[in-house]
Amino acid sequence: MPEAASLPNEEPLGGYQLRVVREVLLALLARESSHGYQLRARLALALGPLASALNDGQVYVTLGRLEKAGLLSSRRVGQTDRPDRKEYELTPAGREQVEEWMRDTSWRKSAPAEFHLKLVAAAAAGLADPVGIVDQQRRELLIALGQAQRAALAEPDGSVAALLLEGVVLRLQADLRWLEACARYWNSMEER
């Protein structure tokens, strides 16, 4: 990853902090250029009731930062009866970021929203097959679950570490269940 075009640091702007706003915005621009208002609307649609916690200004500020980091480029579009809009477009560096995100299977604690938005973005921008992403992630999680489970079984009776491992196992199990639901949903979307 070229140093110059790395992602700017996320700074809390107050309100709900969405870790992956940067990646999602980049991904949403992968197919076509868009302006801030549109991007925000899409994000809100994907988040549903959770969108209300999204800080109003967060999207625009992030877009600005991304442009400053060289991952986006913008141009002014003139409009007849409104003030000019800024239209954003991915740069090659930005595109590379997106592709890396698509490939990334690391799983963080605030998982559902992140992964969910990844799938939405992938579908919207035609970046990848959401079902494929789900399957890929599922495999990773299953392997992790297998490891955690074996480790738990290997612990002697009454071991306190076993409790932690059990926690890991159960959360992974829950995540996997959700992934199954994702697969079902995106599968049925495909079939339409």
Partner 1 sequence: MIEPNASVLSARGLSKEYGKGAALVRAVDDVRLDVARGESVAIVGPSGCGKSTLLYLVGGLERPTGGTVQLAGEKLEQMPEARLARLRRHALGFVFQAFHLVDELTALENVELPALLAGASPGKARRRATELLEQVGLEDRAEHLPSTLSGGQRQRVAIARALANEPAVVLADEPTGNLDSAATTEVLRLFEQLHAGGQTLIVVTHDERIAATADRLITMRDGAFVDETQLTGGTARSITEIAGLEG
**173 near partner 1 (CB under 8 A):** yes
CB 39 within 8 A of CB 29: yes
Minimal distance, residue 13 CB to partner 1, in Å: 23
C-alpha–C-alpha distance, residues 34 and 170, integer Å: 41
The nearer residue to partner 1, 32 or 100, going by C-beta atoms, is: 100
Which one of 10-18, 70-78, 79-87, 135-143 is the stretch in contact with partner 1 (CB under 8 A)?
A: 135-143
The nearer residue to partner 1, 72 or 134, going by C-beta atoms, is: 134
93: closest CA among 119, 66, 127? Answer: 66
**144 near partner 1 (CB under 8 A):** yes
**38 near partner 1 (CB under 8 A):** no
Which one of 51-59, 60-68, 72-80, 149-157 is the stretch in contact with partner 1 (CB under 8 A)?
A: 149-157
**7 near partner 1 (CB under 8 A):** no
The nearer residue to partner 1, 41 or 170, going by C-beta atoms, is: 170
Scan for tokens 């009454």, then name that residue. Answer: 158
Q: For strands 72-77 and 85-90, give the pairing.
A: antiparallel
Q: How many residues bind partner 1, per CB under 8 A?
A: 31
Tell me the C-alpha to C-alpha distance, in Å, between residue 51 and each of 4, 11, 48, 179, 185: 32, 19, 6, 21, 21
Position among 172, 185, 189, 192 found at the interface with partner 1 (CB under 8 A) = 172
CB 85 within 8 A of CB 97: no
Which one of 11-19, 29-37, 114-122, 177-185 is the stretch in contact with partner 1 (CB under 8 A)?
A: 177-185
**164 near partner 1 (CB under 8 A):** yes
Which one of 16-24, 37-45, 60-68, 141-149 is the stretch in contact with partner 1 (CB under 8 A)?
A: 141-149
CB 14 within 8 A of CB 104: no
C-alpha–C-alpha distance, residues 13 and 134, integer Å: 31
What's 19's DSSP letter? T
Going 105 to 25 to 71 to 129, the CA torsion angle's sign is positive
Q: List residues near partner 1 by CB under 8 A.
A: 106-109, 135, 139-151, 153, 164, 167-173, 176-177, 180, 184
